[in-house]
Amino acid sequence: MAQELTVVVAMAVEDRRLPPDRVDTIADFDAVKRFGAQSAGGADAATAAVVVELADLVARGELEVPIAGVFALDDVRDAYRQLELRLTRGKLVLRP
């Protein structure tokens, strides 16, 4: 898993030539050291203020959150099956 994550960061920095300070990972700490990528998120973003700010950015059209699929809560197993394929590009939404 760690090697696969590093490949994603390497592709962003080396192949797509994104500045390392514009690449953020919440899971690949080796890539943070190797490429100088950022590691902000997770607990750093787990506040109501951050959620309000993100919702505001979405409402103004300044932040797009791609939705890969919407599942009824009763279909949570199907959502996890989709995640296990590792082909998901975007968020999976569970609705009540």
The pLDDT assigned to 4 comes to 59
Evaluate whether 38 touches 51 at the Cβ level (below 8 Å). Answer: no
The stretch 27-56 carries a mean pLDDT of: 83
Which pLDDT band, with edges at 50, 70 and 90, does 71 fall under?
very high
- What's the half-sphere exposure (Cβ side, CA atoms, 13 Å) at 7? 4
Q: Where are the domains of the chain?
A: 1-64, 66-96
The pLDDT assigned to 3 comes to 57
Percentage of the chain lying above the pLDDT 70 cut: 89
Evaluate whether 71 touches 92 at the Cβ level (below 8 Å). Answer: yes
The pLDDT assigned to 48 comes to 86
